[in-house]
């Protein structure tokens, strides 16, 4: 048992070190081996052996000699842009978003379609497959360059089988997403919960690159959470951890799609924020929100609320502040329970972070214990509404770097 733990840790450390080297090259290339050692703090022997693995796998390449600083001129390294392309796909509750990137994680092609959660499952899945085929076509005529597709879905996922077990807001159960896409595309397919996927994206490519313990909050139609502890996504016994949106915050509160009442999600999801704005606008007809939606309260959207707030509308600011307080209550619970270094506001939340953060910070100050609070930062996602699709790209990178040997 002990040995298994040790092996597991070494695999994780190697994977993290490989991703650190790739990220250094992604942000600052070309670099020599000794510059990589300086930047990463890893010793030169470790850097040389990791670099050799990445060279053997064709993920990086040597690009000539750098400037000499008195000694021998060093061989410079860069990512190999031809190492392959990756598809990131998000099946949201009311949209499908997809990107194609190169190995640098630069977006080469993208598409987004709105969907209606009342449409039947096959219609939505077929549209997702059609978009994935478009992405494959955008990668080149034969799709040979594709390293894989990473898919985020809004619900509980058995990530080993790639089956979506339950998506409350879509009302889907037991959908074999991985099998469906594997037979349609013939490339490696990885599927996980949308918030987990986005968390992995921040870990590999975003603001959590140097953070081993953090929580990603994804507010959209629902509220999901991706929990990374000790550098790894925390799944719990069955892989279902992170359903923080269904923590009870109000004992007899509003009915949630999961069947429980007063879930955190019923207070801070996109729908909850819009409902709060509709109520506020009804009693404050002078609000800019009413003007922006031309008196059609059902037309109020998150962007209407943010626009009104940005123009100094007090009603909109209050709506977001109240949302920030409810966010702060849940985040304070998470800080006390998990002592993370970072909490990332993602999804819709990241778009309104400027207005939410002051109330969140104040509530955390009031409600969390001083010790875990001292070391926590609350930040908006680096990718906004692209967090999940970028996470899909990270899901594929994660699989590649976990392989015992990178050479194919």
Letters for 303-322 (x = contact with Zn ion by CB under 5 A, - = none) are --------------------
Candidate ranges 76-84, 194-202, 254-262, 308-316; the one touching Zn ion (CB under 5 A): 254-262
* 380 counts as binding Zn ion under rule CB under 5 A: no
* 247 counts as binding Zn ion under rule CB under 5 A: no
Closest distance of CB 407 from Zn ion, Å = 46
Nearer to Zn ion, 260 or 310 (CB): 260
Cα torsion 7, 9, 10, 11 to 10°: value is 90
Closest distance of CB 1 from Zn ion, Å = 36
**Which of 246, 276, 288, 398 is in the footprint of Zn ion by CB under 5 A?**
246
DSSP per-residue letters across 199-228: HHHHHHHSTTTT-SSEEEEEESSSEEEEEE
CA–CA separation, 111 vs 53, rounded Å? Answer: 34
Q: How many CB atoms lie within 10 A of CB 61?
A: 16
Candidate ranges 30-38, 104-112, 255-263, 394-402; the one touching Zn ion (CB under 5 A): 255-263
Candidate ranges 156-164, 206-214, 262-270, 338-346; the one touching Zn ion (CB under 5 A): 262-270
DSSP per-residue letters across 56-82: HTTSEEEEEE---SSSPPPEEEEE-GG
Grouping H, G, I as helix, E, B as strand and the rest as coil, residue 241 is coil
Nearer to Zn ion, 188 or 222 (CB): 222
* 260 counts as binding Zn ion under rule CB under 5 A: yes
Task: Label residues 357-395 b or e (16+ Cβ within 10 Å = b).
Answer: bebbeebbeebbeeebbeebebbbbbbebbbbbbbbbbb
Number of residues that bind Zn ion (CB under 5 A): 5
Candidate ranges 89-97, 103-111, 248-256, 327-335; the one touching Zn ion (CB under 5 A): 248-256
Nearer to Zn ion, 11 or 260 (CB): 260
Closest distance of CB 243 from Zn ion, Å = 8
Q: Which residue has the tokens 């209407």?
A: 304
Letters for 193-232 (x = contact with Zn ion by CB under 5 A, - = none) are ----------------------------------------
Instruction: Please give the C-alpha separations between residue 235 and each of 156, 193, 210, 223, in angstroms, as whole numbers.
Output: 11, 10, 21, 17
Q: Contacts with Zn ion in 346-365 (CB under 5 A)?
A: none
Q: How many CB atoms lie within 10 A of CB 3?
A: 7
* 258 counts as binding Zn ion under rule CB under 5 A: yes
Nearer to Zn ion, 263 or 400 (CB): 263
- Which residue in 218, 208, 162, 215 sits closest to 399, CA to CA? 162
Closest distance of CB 216 from Zn ion, Å = 18
Candidate ranges 209-217, 222-230, 241-249, 371-379; the one touching Zn ion (CB under 5 A): 241-249
Nearer to Zn ion, 256 or 292 (CB): 256
Candidate ranges 12-20, 37-45, 105-113, 249-257; the one touching Zn ion (CB under 5 A): 249-257
CA–CA separation, 194 vs 152, rounded Å? Answer: 4
Closest distance of CB 337 from Zn ion, Å = 18
Grouping H, G, I as helix, E, B as strand and the rest as coil, residue 249 is coil
Closest distance of CB 156 from Zn ion, Å = 12
- Which residue in 95, 94, 93, 125 sits closest to 110, CA to CA? 95
Q: How many CB atoms lie within 10 A of CB 311?
A: 11
Return all residues near 384 (Cβ < 8 A) that are at least 6 apart.
350, 351
**Which of 256, 272, 364, 376 is in the footprint of Zn ion by CB under 5 A?**
256
* 263 counts as binding Zn ion under rule CB under 5 A: yes
Closest distance of CB 246 from Zn ion, Å = 4
Please report, in angstroms and rounded to a whole number, the separation of the first and last CA atoms in the chain.
31
Q: Which residues are at the interface with Zn ion (CB under 5 A)?
A: 246, 256, 258, 260, 263
């Amino acid at each position: 048992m002990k040995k298994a733990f040790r092996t597991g840790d070494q695999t994780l450390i190697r994977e993290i070190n490989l991703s650190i080297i790739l990220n250094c090259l992604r942000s600052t290339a070309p670099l020599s081996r000794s510059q990589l050692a300086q930047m990463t703090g890893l010793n030169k022997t470790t850097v040389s052996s990791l670099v050799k693995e990445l060279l053997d796998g064709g993920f990086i390449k040597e690009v000539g000699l750098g400037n000499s600083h008195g000694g021998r001129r060093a061989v410079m390294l860069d990512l190999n842009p031809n190492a392959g392309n990756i598809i990131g796909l998000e099946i949201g509750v009311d949209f499908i978003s997809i990107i194609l990137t190169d190995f640098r994680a630069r977006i080469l092609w993208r598409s987004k379609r709105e969907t209606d959660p009342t449409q039947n499952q096959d219609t939505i899945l077929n549209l997702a497959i059609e978009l994935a085929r478009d992405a494959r076509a955008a990668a080149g005529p034969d799709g040979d360059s594709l390293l894989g597709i990473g898919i985020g879905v809004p619900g509980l996922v058995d990530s080993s089988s790639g089956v979506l077990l339950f998506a409350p807001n879509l009302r889907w159960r037991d959908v074999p997403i991985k099998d469906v896409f594997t037979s349609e595309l013939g490339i490696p397919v990885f599927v996980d919960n949308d918030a987990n996927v986005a968390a992995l994206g921040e870990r590999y490519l975003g603001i959590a690159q140097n953070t081993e313990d953090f929580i990603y909050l994804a507010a959209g139609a629902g509220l999901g959470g991706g929990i990374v502890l000790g550098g790894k996504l925390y799944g719990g016994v069955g892989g279902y951890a992170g359903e923080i949106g269904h923590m009870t915050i109000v004992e007899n509160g509003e009915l949630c799609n999961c069947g429980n009442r007063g879930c955190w999600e019923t207070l801070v999801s996109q729908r909850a924020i819009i409902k709060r704005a509709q109520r506020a606008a009804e009693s404050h007809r002078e609000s800019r929100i009413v003007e922006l939606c031309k008196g059609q309260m059902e037309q109020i959207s998150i962007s209407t609320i943010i626009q009104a707030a940005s123009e100094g509308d007090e009603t909109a600011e209050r709506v977001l502040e109240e949302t920030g307080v409810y966010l702060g209550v849940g985040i304070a619970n998470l800080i006390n329970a998990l002592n993370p270094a970072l909490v990332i506001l993602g999804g819709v939340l990241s778009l309104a972070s400027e207005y939410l953060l002051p109330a969140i910070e104040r509530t955390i100050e009031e409600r969390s214990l001083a010790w875990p609070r001292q070391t926590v930062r609350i930040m908006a996602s680096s990718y906004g509404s692209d967090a999940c699709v970028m996470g899909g790209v990270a899901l594929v990178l994660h699989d590649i770097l976990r392989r015992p040997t990178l050479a194919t």
